[in-house]
Copies of this chain bind each other. A is one copy, B any other.
């Protein structure tokens, strides 16, 4: 990136996406929307199809640009209003991959740097396309990511739970929903709305993962006290 734009400010959002896990990567991509200064160029690489014929995308949406493989990773960005999608043409841009196992460095990073530094405009990257790959329809309420604290981050929208009323079932346990960690006792397993806006399962001052031993993909059921 710096070779393409040597005054770039680079932020490493995360390197904790599980290997090859496009859906988890897409979750972190979604969490970046609107969180950076307008005009930011976002570069996302979770790319098990590297070296095959899969396309590389450049997307313009919500005032930002997004670069990544055409495999669903940018799904949340593609869903934004007025998103424009282009298929990057590396050869026409003078780019050649030195390797068939990682295109982040040789193909995607230069494009991101050029856009950020103004050396190339979005319209010059390749033709617009209408059929970028989306994520498959979601397979129900479940855990998407286990963070480094052992919290289980789910795909359940925070608006669907009410602290003090909703209960959540996971791994044979039934947990109450609270507003924040301080509303529960030390070690208690609870559900609450995470900073990503979705529900998380947490153990107060502990690790929910260590207590439940379920992670990525674990099914979740919401129950209402009145129901």
Contact = CB atoms under 8 A, between A and B. Distances in A.
Interface of A: 2-3, 6-12, 15, 19-20, 35-37, 48-52, 98-102, 105-106, 148-150, 179-183, 192-195, 197, 200, 202, 205, 207
Contacts of A148: 15, 19
Which among A2, A49, A181, A194 has the greatest number of chain B C-beta atoms within 10 A?
A181
A207 B20 CA distance: 11
Given A2-B11, A36-B3, A51-B179, A101 B193 contact: yes
A49 B184 CA distance: 11
B205 A100 contact: no
A48 B105 contact: no
Contacts of A8: 9
Among A48, A49, A52, A100, residue most surrounded by chain B Cβ atoms (within 10 Å): A100
